[in-house]
Amino acid sequence: MQANVLLVAGVILFIFLAWASSGGPERAASWQPLLGSPFKVASSSISDTGAERSERNEERELSRIQEEVVDLQRSAVSAARFGTPSEYRDRVTLSLGTSATSDDPDREYVTITVSTREEEPVNVTGWRLSSSAKGRTIAIPTGVNVPRSSTINIEEAVILNPGDRAIVVVGESPVGYSFRENMCTGYLDQFQEFYPKLAHQCPAPVDDFDRFYLGSERQLDSCRAFLRGENRCEIPRDIPSSVGNECENFIDTHLDYNGCVDMHLGDRDFLSSTWRVYLERESGFFTEDHDTLKLLDASGKTVDLVSY
């Protein structure tokens, strides 16, 4: 038992002497920073992460402000290019036709459209189209509301109702004037070329026959059979003698543009929502490369513009 006590005491004494020889309490103090260092490193890491997050937030804010500045600059340039806004801005719009930059003035056109939300008709006669690249303007003329062939037509202001549009062609009119389309105007392009093509909304010849024919009943079947094969908005040709004189007279009197107008002028849907307006120029108005076209109202204020 005594020997064991002496052995333990010897081990303790050996450890104490080794500790003292290595520096004792001073050595222990030197280790203190190391013992605390994990916590200090962690604290430093948290602090650095917070600074980085703050820096990222500042960068995002600066980026947002810069984007706003760019948007404001663009808006200022756009406003300067637009000019003084008209009261009709956003109520009447201008759009390019498919051949706005054609070399052929007869295929160079724009479209003016009145919003369906507009409450009153809009008189566009006297409004002007302006080319920024060429520095010139041209006025929108008068037109014929219900044209007639082979006669003198009275022209009047081009008035667009809510939802109406005007196809404004730079070139010359095939019929010599601007006009409003109607149920029968499809007959006009049988012998003349319109661009864009006129709408073909004429009643079918056989329908007009059934509605308006007052001739002999004995010719009903042969005349109806012939007209059933004829196209709408086309004057029938190569009429067989078998249809009879009364059928031929009906065709000559009713199945052309003027005859169609006589029959259908009182129909509720006779008038179209589209005008064909011609500026009567022999050369192009727009540039081929790029341009800004403005629609100016009667006061010279900008209604709308398009760039290409």
pLDDT in tens, 157-182: 999 999 999 999 999 999 999 999 99
In contact, 278 and 141? CB cutoff 8 Å: yes
The C-alpha atoms of residue 67 and residue 56 are separated, in whole angstroms, by: 17
Q: Where are the beta strands (DSSP E) in the chain?
A: 92-96, 109-114, 122-123, 128-131, 136-139, 159-160, 165-169, 179-182, 271-278, 292-296, 302-307
The letter for the amino acid at 300 is: G
Number of C-beta neighbours around residue 135 at 10 A: 7
CA–chain centroid gap for 219, Å, is 53
Per-residue pLDDT tens listing for the chain (308 residues): 444 444 444 545 455 445 455 555 444 444 344 444 444 444 444 455 767 777 788 888 888 888 888 877 776 766 667 789 999 999 999 999 865 566 789 999 999 999 999 999 999 999 999 988 888 899 999 999 999 999 999 999 999 999 999 999 999 999 999 999 999 999 999 999 999 999 999 999 999 999 999 988 888 899 999 999 999 999 999 999 999 999 999 999 999 999 999 999 999 999 999 999 999 998 888 876 788 999 999 999 999 999 88
Phi and psi for 260 in degrees, rounded to 5? -60, -45
Residue 265 exposure: Cα atoms within 13 Å on the Cβ side: 10
Phi and psi for 117 in degrees, rounded to 5? -85, -10
Name the nearest CA neighbour of 120 among 83, 87, 142.
Answer: 87
307 DSSP β-pair partners: 292
pLDDT in tens, 110-125: 999 999 999 999 999 9
Give residue limits of the domains in the chain: 2-82, 92-307
